Structure 1
């Protein structure tokens, strides 16, 4: 942007090469000189007027001849610079292939009412995303509020681009909060949120982060879980099995992803 440009050269009568601006001045001066000579040789007034008009037209025409390439060059340079700057800005802000290098939870502020502080997600491109919980609300006579009070069960998938966590919510029937929903985060945004209405007992990523397996169940009672497998591209449920009520475990013919989740549930 700072370099100078040569938009044209003009050879003058004495053989010198002048730049575009000086060339215009030389050409106009030569035209005026010719008109002066003709005036001195008794050229009539009409012809002199025509020459003066021609001089003006030539001056304007040559100004356009030299100025247009210069203006086009400047516009192209500015446009190219703006486009490059916009592309660089987009690349810096959007890097979808960035990997997650670490994540951590802040401690909750004293007497805040939260069980955890914000969740920090750090990427290898230098970006950091901070997830926070909604402000706490008080229950009223007309409305009972169950606030989200903490993050739990944070896991990173094998692709290092997909992160998941459960949200702990106040519960009416227990003295402690329970995880009721699972958020899946990819490419610096929440991709999907999964819930079924019951407590999330456990969850895992499957196939490196292509799928997620979640087991839901009641807070108390027999361990007859609802095992679900979701596609993380579409967010759709693709498989579901239930535990056996008599054995309180999966049947022997349960799919492999469900068995892996059951092992994770029991820390096996």
Structure 2
């Protein structure tokens, strides 16, 4: 069965939800990811919640193209987390028939974070969504082992999930054995991109600072095959049928071409790397 590819929000961050869907259809993506909730107050996002006309246009684009909405961003679990705050996002997800919610863990009190995550999973279940906890090295869920520990401590709710982003896999110290240890039922999709593996401007290379990691993640990712991440090894450790979210943002390069050209290049690079690997598996 051919691997499914979703056009992530960051790959097409200049587009509205209906524009993103129509572009994805033209380029051969099966799905899109949308950021309907900003990752910080005032940060970039796509606007749909509370805008019925945009929702209607987005649903029409889905009907016309057959492109689905795979994941919605973003829910951040902090110290004062109340999952009901995100009910408008869940309702939008149900209307769009989205499959997953991207969740980040920011609360450094792990028992409290675990309890909040469990409550979120319970809240999202009736909406047909999964709550996919993404490990990121600068957050309170810094690696795959931490994500798995939290999900298990939360009771492994039916709506729980763990999201593997290639960039965070590389920079978090997560190993391939850690990836192989993730239960299949917790894996709903993975994100692909590339990047340098050590800071190249130092004589011997060094580990990245938090600021550098955040900058790369949000502004300067590379297309698969352009960096040093062991992408083939990573995706060999993941299930072959796992849907892939193509999440490649490089703001400087994207400003130099039409959005469709960038997204097309990112999909082609991902397929070159991953489809060949699947054929050889």
TM range (shorter): under 0.3
Greater helix content: 2
Greater strand content: 1
Normalization by structure 1: what TM-score?
Answer: 0.24
State the structure with bigger RCO (CA 8 A, min sep 6), 1 or 2.
2
Determine which structure has more spread, i.e. the larger CA radius of gyration: 1
Normalization by structure 2: what TM-score?
Answer: 0.23
